[in-house]
Homo-oligomer: A and B are copies of this chain.
Amino acid sequence: MASHTIILAVLWLVIAPMGWARKLAVKDPEAELEREALQKHRLDSINLLIFIFLLVCTVLTVWLFKHRRFRFLHETGLAMIYGMIVGAIIKYSGRRVNKYAYSIEEEMNQTFAPEILWLKYTTTNDSTPARIFSYELQGIIHDPSSEIQIELEEKATFDPEVFFNILLPPIIFHAGYCIKRKHFFRNLGAILMFAFIGTTISCIVVGFIVYGFVQLMPWSTFSLKDCLYFGALISATDPVSVLAIFFDLHVDVDMYALVFGESVMNDAVAIVLAATIDNYRASEFDVEALFTAVGSFLGIFFGSFLIGGLMGCINALLTKFTKIRDFPILETVLFCLLSYSTFLIAESFGLTGIVAMLFCGMTQAHYTYNNLSDESKKRTKELFELLNFLSENFIFSYMGVAMFTFQSHQWHIDFIAAAFLAVGVARVCNIYPLSFLLNLGRKNKISFNFQHMLVFAGLRGAIAFALAIRNTETAGRQTMLTTTLMIVIVTIVVCGGGTTQMLTWLKIRVGVEDDDTTGQNVFQELGTVRIGNEEDERLLDVDQDPNAARAIRRAKKKEQAWLVSRWYNFDHNYVKPVLTNRGADLSQTLPGCCSAVARCLTRKEESTMPRRGSDSEIILDDELSYGEMPTIIGGGSTDDITPNITPNPHDQDPASDGDLGLGDHEMSPRSQFKGVTPGSSQV
């Protein structure tokens, strides 16, 4: 009997799945629904599995490339190529399942199709009772003949909102959080110019060139607005692969800062531009509508900027005034939750979550990061690095797959050619004239070779794709998506692959350690647009004499961009001391009447920060803060750090501010190169 049991049991190990299938043959509506859900769930699993398999392949190949020091193909390019291979397999091997679509004609006296449809159906061979099924509106069918799809192919198409709501936020946040802020702010003028003016130029130039060409294309239904929308979305550059190579080769820091800064900021500008153009309703040119558009642009941009900044400040205050740093995991969780909520808040207000995320990342890096415990500093950086890597490669894999599986590609070679031409011309019209203008005011000129490199670094990537796939309702938008995909793939493969060669041709310095290695003289040489005066602040902190420092600052003001330096002073004197335990002493910078407030803010600070001035903290902070040098004298390696902190508690204040007035030294470049990750290039 027992052996009988075992045999039966073993048999059923094999047959059980069949039992399931048998059970599913019953045509009970509920069982049928269940079967459908099960089927859908399996397909979903297989679909996700395909992408994970792609990512695993990418990771392994990337490792091999890194191991063998191949630089001609970046991981994102690789992910895309693998994606294309798998996409082709899915497309040409998929079994065609004719999905049954039942057509009903109905005359209604309402202007729009109902959101929910209840179908009460009775079968002709009447045994089952009438049942009501609920249907939800999915979209408009433009071409009834093309809508019968291959099941897996259809599955491999994600909801485009996934890109905007889940995949892009960590990428953008990471860019803001891990920005090399010192170099970024030093080139802030140039970066803002390229981002705001440059992106607008690019958008307009692309728009008009494409509009000119589509006049010659009989098939096209593009309006000028459509062309400008395409101009906006294709103006978002994404040179991850170039930046990764720059990082690997330790290319000139200013070159790096320009390319990185431009790409980060112009994403934000391009997204808002695209939203603005999309909302532009006037059919003809109209001054009022133009002002509306400009106002809407500014409103969305600065609204998002404010929300991002505000959430960063809230997080800074929370981490400063609670002892949550004693529980690093709670701190990290809080940090992640507040950062993601920034995105959601901006979206809830109808603003742009991605832009808010970028500025939230920057604020978090500038303020909150200083309040975090050492463990949370590491954890947050590593976490966002990981998420950035995963999201980025997922998007690029998806682009490769979508090249084949996207259902409504519109291949118009003429349009694609025009777009390539327009993109190239727009890049040229953006970089060279603006560089010329910038060079008029910069001491540290942008050389012609740098300019050529900037033009070359105009790769297109994730943001352009996400914007293009967001709306593919009309044939025009479908053409845009196809064209964007082509541009992304070609620029990534050609420009990404040719970066090393280009650097050689243009004789751009590689293997450069941070400028600061050579000491303060380099500082003096650097252009007029740079943030604050680190030297001055240092003197200020050590002497604790605001008057003398102010005098020095005044004397040097000519060298600085007025707005930037103003902001830096304000930040150092008021914002930083309130939000973090750094910056100036509040009791000295605030007017006398506010001394109670100042004391309150400072007292709190002292009780919550028992570990200030510990060496590890200083080193870590240096990785993510500008104008704050570590306190270690000499010692080129992190292994033999002996912090030179005077025991006097008053002197510790500037020490924890990262500086004892000892200027730059060998430590800083190393830690800077180690800790700050551009894109996912630290991999």
Chain B residue numbers with a CB within 8 Å of A33 are 137, 139-140, 473
Contact for A118 among B15, B42, B103, B322, CB less than 8 A: B103
Partner-contacting stretch, out of A381-389, A401-409, A410-418, A563-571? A381-389
A551 at the interface (CB under 8 A from B): no
Contact for A56 among B36, B337, B379, CB less than 8 A: B337
Contact flags A127-153 to B (C-beta < 8 A → 1, else 0): 000011111111111001001000000
Interface residues of A in 97-145 (CB under 8 A from B): 99-125, 131-141, 144
Partner-contacting stretch, out of A295-303, A453-461, A581-589? A295-303
A95 at the interface (CB under 8 A from B): no
Chain B residue numbers with a CB within 8 Å of A90 are none
Are the C-beta atoms of B104 and A12 separated by less than 8 Å? no
Are the C-beta atoms of A20 and B350 separated by less than 8 Å? yes
Known: A9-B294, A33-B139, A123-B111. A344 touches B106 (CB 8 A): no
Q: How far is the CA of A20 from the CA of B139 in the complex (A)?
A: 22
Known: A45-B348, A383-B386. A56 touches B332 (CB 8 A): no
* Least CB distance, A203 to chain B, in whole angstroms: 19
Contact for A296 among B19, B48, B147, CB less than 8 A: B19
Chain B residue numbers with a CB within 8 Å of A509 are none
A327 at the interface (CB under 8 A from B): yes
Q: How far is the CA of A329 from the CA of B20 in the complex (A)?
A: 42
Chain B residue numbers with a CB within 8 Å of A53 are 341
| Chain B residue with Cβ nearest A21 | B350
Partner-contacting stretch, out of A23-31, A187-195, A437-445, A522-530? A23-31
* Least CB distance, A164 to chain B, in whole angstroms: 9
* Least CB distance, A506 to chain B, in whole angstroms: 29
Contact for A12 among B45, B296, B337, B386, CB less than 8 A: B296
Q: How far is the CA of A381 from the CA of B323 in the complex (A)?
A: 24
Are the C-beta atoms of B104 and A67 separated by less than 8 Å? no
Q: How far is the CA of A345 from the CA of B17 in the complex (A)?
A: 16
Q: How far is the CA of A53 from the CA of B46 in the complex (A)?
A: 34
Contact for A133 among B131, B140, B295, B338, CB less than 8 A: B140
Q: How far is the CA of A13 from the CA of B112 in the complex (A)?
A: 32
A475 at the interface (CB under 8 A from B): no
Known: A52-B337, A386-B379. A138 touches B135 (CB 8 A): yes
A62 at the interface (CB under 8 A from B): yes
* Least CB distance, A324 to chain B, in whole angstroms: 5
Known: A41-B161, A119-B106. A9 touches B113 (CB 8 A): no
Chain B residue numbers with a CB within 8 Å of A63 are 322-324, 327, 330
Are the C-beta atoms of B67 and A326 separated by less than 8 Å? yes
A197 at the interface (CB under 8 A from B): no
Are the C-beta atoms of B329 and A683 separated by less than 8 Å? yes
A600 at the interface (CB under 8 A from B): no
Contact for A348 among B14, B29, B42, B348, CB less than 8 A: B42
A604 at the interface (CB under 8 A from B): no
Are the C-beta atoms of B123 and A104 separated by less than 8 Å? no
Are the C-beta atoms of B140 and A60 separated by less than 8 Å? no
Contact for A62 among B109, B330, B341, CB less than 8 A: B330
Q: Would you give 29 A-B contacts (Cβ < 8 Å), ordered by A?
A: A11-B295, A12-B294, A13-B295, A13-B302, A16-B292, A16-B296, A19-B281, A20-B350, A36-B137, A42-B347, A45-B347, A45-B348, A45-B353, A53-B341, A56-B334, A59-B337, A63-B322, A63-B330, A66-B326, A67-B323, A104-B104, A106-B122, A107-B124, A108-B122, A113-B121, A118-B141, A134-B147, A333-B390, A336-B390
